[in-house]
Amino acid sequence: MALALILAELREEFGLVLHIAHFDHRTRPRAAARDAAFVAQIADHIGAPIRVGRAPRATKSEDDARRERYAFLRRVASELGATAIATGHTLDDQAETVLLHLTRGSGMAGLAGMRPLREGIARPLLLIGRAETTLVCRAAKIRPREDPTNRSLTFARNRVRLKVLPELARINPQVSAALARFAEAAAEIEDASRAVQPLRAATASAQLVSNASMDLHALPPDDASRERILADLWKAVSGTSLGARHRAALLALAASNEGTKRVDLPGGSAVREYGRMRFAPGGARADAAGSARNEDDTTATAPAALARGTSLEWHGWRIALDLPSDGLRFVGAIDPASAARIVVRERRPGDRIAGHGKLQDLFVDAKVPTRLRDTWPVLTLNETVIWVPGLTPPPRTGTVHLAAGRVETTPTVGEAAFTFSSQNRQVASKAEVRPRGEKRGSP
């Protein structure tokens, strides 16, 4: 309930199209109809369509129920062309999951618990607890229905929730948050380990080698592990082993996430752009600013006028004027007179944005890698910068639709739509722009 209410509040700001999905596990025959009716009321209250599913037979275990539920959700997502399935898992659910996996002798992947985004499942509420979701519902004057099976000690998760965690909370009242931090640390180690595996097979693929990079936040905290992983990655992409001096230089490069810096290595160079390391072996080079690129790469593009009813491509971006947003992440609106004079160009020395200061400072504050700044679209009106998609708020001065987004991150079913922004706030299909529904009374 809290998740539905929160996303309903955010949908206009982020152009979300929400659908509610309700699944009957057939374990509570007498209450099932009332459950479905209540969810339908909530869906009507927030102005969202609803899909209802039912298990073919009563599920006998938690695992069976989960499999049937997610199979139904994936069918609905596929039919709708949804970008992701959003679930209401909280910080407390994460703590329970970690304890269950730990008790069952899970490996590092299991100890990482639930991820904010994995395999098309988004969990936007993982940073808040069950108490906060209760407050959200209370503020909306909505009283969620309670599933009585949540109090049954027959199920292992309930025993952890009702018996184990309360005892641990007597030792540390913030035990759920502590377990969630443990899961994050386990996830970082697991991701760093996984990052090495595909790159070890990359030496036979020139394309994969030339684009090799990794998020430094995924590296483990200890220097020995970081050095080993970075050296393994370099050998995978360049075919060259590093000696102690170059291993130390690579480790030092990874020690900071400020600005852009480069080190020369046997067989090429490594470039750190804020929190991301890029490897430039062989035919790639790094320019004076430390930006890795191929020799035949060209970035200069002449300014281009943007006509109404058209879109244009700009270094991996698509900008559309007076067209449906079609999944483009950043959406605004402009008045008809201005719409006829919009020009898209690259940045220029001295560019300023009213209310935001120097464009150069915006790039630095947003930690945009140097290599991307000359290819970032800048929208102008009569030579005045009015919008830098992704860095400044979109204009909202009229009724003519204006949208922009990276072409490679146009939402598709699954994880692709979430790769562009670290905030990962795009949750549902945006193939249509749904206006906020009229004000409705509480169910």
Average of per-residue pLDDT values in the chain = 80
User: Would you put residue 111 in left (φ > 0), alpha (ψ -120 to 50) or beta?
Assistant: alpha
pLDDT grade, residue 195 (50/70/90)? low
Q: Is the dihedral of CA 244, 247, 253, 254 positive or negative?
A: negative
Tokens of 291: 């930006």
The CB density around residue 320, as the number of other CB atoms within 10 Å, is: 20
Q: What is the pLDDT of residue 427?
A: 35
Say whether pLDDT at 208 is over 50: no
**Residue 155 reports pLDDT greater than 80:** yes
The CA distance from 186 to 99, in Å, is: 13
Proportion of the chain in helix, strand, coil states, percent, rounded to 5: 40, 20, 40
Pair of tokens at residue 404: 């922009």
Cα separation, 372 vs 357, whole angstroms: 20
Rounded to whole angstroms, the maximal C-alpha distance in the chain is 71
Q: Classify domain 201-294 by CATH number.
A: 3.30.465
pLDDT higher than 60, residue 328:
yes
Sheet containing strand 85-86, strands side by side: 85-86, 121-122, 117-118
Q: How far does CA 293 lie from the centroid of its chain?
A: 26
For residue range 156-186, list pLDDT tens digits in order.
889 999 999 999 999 999 999 999 999 988 8
List pLDDT tens digits, range 110-135. Answer: 888 999 988 889 999 999 999 999 99
Q: What is the pTM of this model?
A: 0.48
Inter-residue contact 115 to 109 (CB < 8 Å): no
CA distance 160 to 309: 57
| Inter-CA distances, 46 with 41, 42, 194, 361, 427, Å | 9, 6, 41, 40, 16
* pLDDT at 147 exceeding the cut of 50: yes
Averaged over 354-369, what is the pLDDT?
82
- What residue segments make up the domains of the chain, in order of their start? 2-182, 201-294, 304-410
**For 77, what's the count of Cα atoms within 13 Å in the CB-facing half-sphere?**
23
Give residue 30's Cα distance to chain centre: 39
pLDDT of residue 258: 77
Check residue 63 and give its pLDDT: 80
Q: Distance between CA 218 and CA 251 in Å, rounded?
A: 14
Q: What is the mean pLDDT of residues 343-371?
A: 84
In 142-287 the beta strands, taken as DSSP E runs, fall at 213-215, 260-265, 268-273, 276-281, 284-286
Count how many residues are written for the chain: 443
pLDDT tens sequence across 227-237 = 888 888 888 77
The string of pLDDT tens digits covering residues 392-433 is 999 998 889 899 988 754 333 333 333 333 333 333 333 334
Which residue, among 193, 169, 36, 5, has the nearest Cα to 95 in the 3D structure?
169
Question: Look-up: residue for tokens 């607890």?
Answer: 129
305-320 pLDDT, tens digit per residue, is 888 888 888 888 889 9
Q: How many CA atoms lie within 13 A of 410 on its CB side?
A: 17
Residue 215 has pLDDT above 80, yes or no: no
- Which of 188-192, 315-319, 375-379, 392-396 is least confident? 188-192
Span 2-182: which CATH code?
A: 3.40.50.620
Note whether 2-182 and 201-294 share their fold. no
Is residue 194 predicted with pLDDT exceeding 50?
yes
The pair of three-digit structure tokens given for residue 116, joined into one six-digit string: 């904010």
424 and 14 Cβ atoms separated by less than 8 Å:
no
Looking at per-residue confidence, does 312 or 281 come out higher? 312
Q: What string of DSSP letters covers 129-153?
A: -HHHHHHHHHHTT--PPP-GGGG-T
First-to-last alpha carbon distance for the chain, in angstroms, is: 12
Q: Name the most confidently modeled range: 68-72, 242-246, 281-285.
A: 68-72
Cα four-point dihedral sign 10, 14, 16, 22: negative
Q: Where does the pLDDT of residue 200 fall: very low under 50, low under 70, confident under 90, or very high at 90 and above?
A: very low
* Listed residue (317, 301, 255, 253) closest to 280, CA to CA: 253
Q: Which residue has the tokens 């869906």?
A: 43
pLDDT at site 212: 65
* 197: confidence class by pLDDT, cuts 50, 70, 90: low
- For residue 402, give every residue at least 6 positions away whose Cβ sits within 8 Å of its Cβ, in sequence order, or none: 319, 320, 321, 322, 331, 332, 333, 334, 339, 342, 379, 387, 394, 395
State residue 7's pLDDT score: 95
